[in-house]
Amino acid sequence: MKNRILLFTILITSQIFAQETKYPQTDFVAPVNIPMYLSGTFGELRGNHFHSGIDIKTNGSEGIPIIAIADGYVSRIKVSPGGFGKALYIKHPNGYSSVYAHLQKFSDDIQQYVTKNQYKEESFAVNLFPKAKVFQVKQGDTIAVSGNTGSSLGPHLHFEIRESETETPVNPLFFNFAVRDYVRPRISALKIYPYDHMSQVDGKNEALKLAVAGWGEKHRLEKEKLHAVSGNIYFGIDVDDQLNDMPNRNGVYSVELFVDSTLVYSTEMEKFSFYETRYINSLIDYAEYTSTKSHFQKTFVEPNNELSIYRRVENDGIVSFSDSSMHQIEYVIKDLYGNVSKLHFELKSLPPDSSRISYELEEGMLFNHVIQNEFVSGDFKLKADPRSFYNSFFFKYDIMNTLKPIDKLYSKIHSIHDESIAIHKWIDISIRVDSIPEGSEDKLLVVKLSDDLEFEAAGGTFKEGWMHTGIRDFGNYAVVLDTVPPKIEALNIYENKNIKNMQAIRIKITDELSGISGYKPTLNGKWILMEYDPKNDLLLYSPDNMLKKGKNTFKLEVWDERGNRSERKLTLFNK
């Protein structure tokens, strides 16, 4: 059996493609004692961020033991309703830290420490930094069990390795964990883009999207047609990767583009800082993503793009086609284990011809990405700090008119550009408020309106007739009044219920507009620990020593972001 394990480890290690690894290969063991099947890889393209670790499947259930990958000490424990949920951070003596997230619960000693601090702070959410000697661990110690807490969409372990000094996440698969992957990446589609108004793709000044077919190493354009390009052109590609025995569409490790056998563009997902993760919206074709949710990685590196994953970029990823020749284009896509897929195609280059060029001048106000931009129009104001956008563009604004009447509006609907342009930094907007009931200013709320006119809260504060807030998405915005308190629904308790031997009290809390801001649960006048699971709108109380024998008075207060409050009081018995 030992020989089989040794052979398997050698095979796995040998897959890692031609990289003289600078990372330790024998320092760490796996964080689980079950086979490491991955549902997410490092650097995977997610909404507004890169995936900062790997997601390890836990057989579709919770309660799998999580173990320390090496000796070290617990440096941080964080519990939050969203994000990582319950997460544990361990520092190791080799300069790296490991992170374990979406946990169900911690080991007994750590859990007691966390619970003590939650009661001390009277808060479910805590962010704790124990001293180095408080929780020292040995490699292989059980430190927690797996769960589905925070923003997790299913039971799994989110696992990271970071450089301790900088907190920079590093691709965990560099550290020789036993993950089987003999499956080549998949190439789904290609896009060819004109860079400027003098550029053409098949005689048009617009991007061309092409389906890709094939399997194994060789992929091809689905329709065997020769395409013509002229002027400055860049490319985009939609790719993903699979691992053995797993259907999940994961992220790839590297993307390379060759033009006539010359490498002109390449990226690698070795590591990145959290500071740069939102620059994903510049790596991808953001307009395509907002329309179809497809992640086309484009070669064009915009002026305000500070990603460190680029290894080679010639001329900002733009290729000039100005001759009358045929050109060989090839994408080479790799995963970290050396599995390779290629897409090869030819393009016919045509010299730019101004007689074929026809375009309309863009309307709107030029927003230069380098400087501060301000826009004022009647009942609307906008201010964007320098480098809030990845590139310069012509800003458009209008008042939105709808045939369908909308209740609760206390302003015009302001159509702020369109969602195809990404915003990197928060930008400030101000909206003039129409007449509102006296004394209700603190209930005003800026909302974003979807295409079907549903509201999404965007916060805001009222001052001298205007609502002010920050946004990170363009779209349609207006002001509404939120006076409706949250709803409290007791799912498994009622007045005078005997809760002896109950494992947990379950309460559902919801708010239709501004969202839940906080809650305070008490038992006999004293705060009790109720875990909050916002993705399921649930509060959970596992009876502890705060529950006395006999009669108990349970009280729950819940409030939303506009200060609307609800309260539920019940008499419960423990007998």
At residue 249, does pLDDT exceed 90?
Answer: no
Q: Cβ distance 75 to 129 under 8 Å? A: yes
Q: Distance (Å, rounded) from C-alpha 277 to C-alpha 502?
A: 44
Distances (CA, A) of 211 to 4, 119, 296, 347: 42, 57, 12, 16
* Per-residue pLDDT at 17: 43
Residue 225 class from Cβ within 10 Å (0-12 exposed, 13-18 middle, 19+ buried)?
A: exposed
Tell me which H or E stretch contains 101: strand 96-101
Q: Could you tell me which residues come within 8 angstroms of residue 539 by beta carbon, excluding any fewer than 6 positions away?
A: 506, 507, 508, 509, 519, 521, 530, 531, 532, 533, 556
Tell me which H or E stretch contains 10: helix 2-15
* Per-residue pLDDT at 403: 64
Q: Distance (Å, rounded) from C-alpha 295 to C-alpha 250?
A: 12
- pLDDT (tens digit per residue) in 464-496: 999 999 999 999 999 999 999 999 999 999 999
What the chain holds in terms of domains, given with CATH numbers, is: 2-175 (2.70.70.10), 186-356 (no CATH), 365-481 (2.60.220.30), 487-574 (2.60.40.1220)
- pLDDT (tens digit per residue) in 116-134: 999 999 999 999 999 999 9
Distances (CA, A) of 374 to 125, 325, 367, 368, 407: 38, 46, 8, 10, 31
Distances (CA, A) of 562 to 73, 482, 484, 539: 41, 7, 9, 21
More confident residue, 158 or 224: 158
* Per-residue pLDDT at 358: 63
Q: Which of 293, 271, 286, 278 is nearest to 387 (CA)?
A: 278
For residues 548-566, average pLDDT = 97
Tell me which H or E stretch contains 6: helix 2-15
Q: Distance (Å, rounded) from C-alpha 257 to C-alpha 193?
A: 15
User: What count of other Cβ atoms lies within 10 Å of the Cβ of residue 277?
Assistant: 18
**Which sign, positive or negative, has the C-alpha torsion 285, 288, 290, 292?**
negative
* Per-residue pLDDT at 213: 94
Return the SS3 of 575: coil
For residues 403-419, average pLDDT = 86
* Per-residue pLDDT at 438: 86
Q: Cβ distance 455 to 447 under 8 Å? A: yes
Q: Could you tell me which residues come within 8 angstroms of residue 60 by beta carbon, excluding any fewer than 6 positions away?
A: 154, 155
For residues 257-273, average pLDDT = 97
* Per-residue pLDDT at 245: 76
Tell me which H or E stretch contains 14: helix 2-15
Q: Cβ distance 212 to 191 under 8 Å? A: no
Q: Could you tell me which residues come within 8 angstroms of residue 182 by beta carbon, excluding any fewer than 6 positions away?
A: 15, 244, 337, 339
At residue 328, does pLDDT exceed 70?
Answer: yes
Six token digits for residue 39: 């549902």
At residue 365, does pLDDT exceed 70?
Answer: yes
* Per-residue pLDDT at 356: 67
- pLDDT (tens digit per residue) in 504-521: 999 999 999 999 999 999
Q: Where are the beta strands (DSSP E) in 111-155?
A: 126-128, 136-137, 142-146
> Parallel, antiparallel, or unpaired for β 49-50 and 45-46?
antiparallel
Q: Distance (Å, rounded) from C-alpha 60 to C-alpha 152?
A: 12
Return the SS3 of 182: coil
The per-residue DSSP string of 380-399 comes to: EEEEE-TTSSSS-EEE-EEE
Residue 407: band (very low, low, confident or very high) from pLDDT cuts 50, 70, 90: confident
Q: Where are the beta strands (DSSP E) in 198-305?
A: 200-201, 208-215, 218-221, 227-240, 254-259, 262-268, 296-298
At residue 7, does pLDDT exceed 70?
Answer: no
Residue percentage of the chain with pLDDT more than 70 = 95
Q: Interior CA angle at 263 toward 259 and 265, to 5°? A: 95
For residues 23-52, average pLDDT = 95
SS3 content of the chain, % helix, strand, coil (to 5): 10, 45, 45
Tell me which H or E stretch contains 118: helix 108-121
Alpha helix ranges (H) inside 284-418: 286-292
Write down the residue that tokens 């789904």 correspond to: 188
For residues 398-416, average pLDDT = 86
Return the SS3 of 278: helix
Q: Distance (Å, rounded) from C-alpha 505 to C-alpha 498?
A: 12
Q: Distance (Å, rounded) from C-alpha 339 to C-alpha 187?
A: 13
The rounded mean pLDDT for the chain is 93
Residue 357: band (very low, low, confident or very high) from pLDDT cuts 50, 70, 90: low
